[in-house]
Amino acid sequence: MFCSIKSPAVRRLTNRVLGTMVLNILFAVIAALAIRFAHLRGIAGYLVAVLPALPIVGVIVAFGVFLEEEKDEFQRNLMVQALLGGIGGTLVATTVWGNLEAFVHVPHLQSIWIYPIFWLFVGLSTPVVLWRYR
């Protein structure tokens, strides 16, 4: 992500994230088809609905593993700062939106959007973090 020369840890992270993205799409299609056509109810319905979220957990785990595996402490530091930017930005954005929902009745933000919003803020934080060390 940050390294000019990709370290083995970055390569492994990239492969893991790509793998989980493929699983995410696959599970989302399976869940949509199963709920729509098989009319799943009860526990089976809940399990299928949760299925697409599992690869997302996998991405979080992959980043945790990366922070363990990456030997370059400066690169780890860059990654941690970008992730913190993502967490902070998401907390601020969702809290502000929550207040808007409560007091001025803006449209409801479904919690499924919180994860993409987090990565949006990680993406916005990354150039800022890199700029600090240019």
Partner 1 sequence: MKNRLKVLRAERDWSQGDLAQRLEVSRQSVNAVETGKFDPSLPLAFKLARLFERPIEEIFTDEEERG
Separation CA 22–CA 27 (nearest Å): 9
| Closest distance to partner 1 from the beta carbon of 89 (Å) | 23
| Closest distance to partner 1 from the beta carbon of 72 (Å) | 4
Side-chain half-sphere exposure of 31, counting CA atoms within 13 A: 16
Separation CA 43–CA 110 (nearest Å): 22
Sign, CA dihedral 108-110-115-119, equals: negative
Please identify, using beta-carbon distances, which residue of 4 and 110 lies nearer to partner 1.
4
Contacts with partner 1 by CB under 8 A lie at 2-5, 7, 71-75, 77, 132-133
Please identify, using beta-carbon distances, which residue of 59 and 78 lies nearer to partner 1.
78
| Closest distance to partner 1 from the beta carbon of 79 (Å) | 12
Please identify, using beta-carbon distances, which residue of 14 and 77 lies nearer to partner 1.
77
- Amino acid, res. 45: G
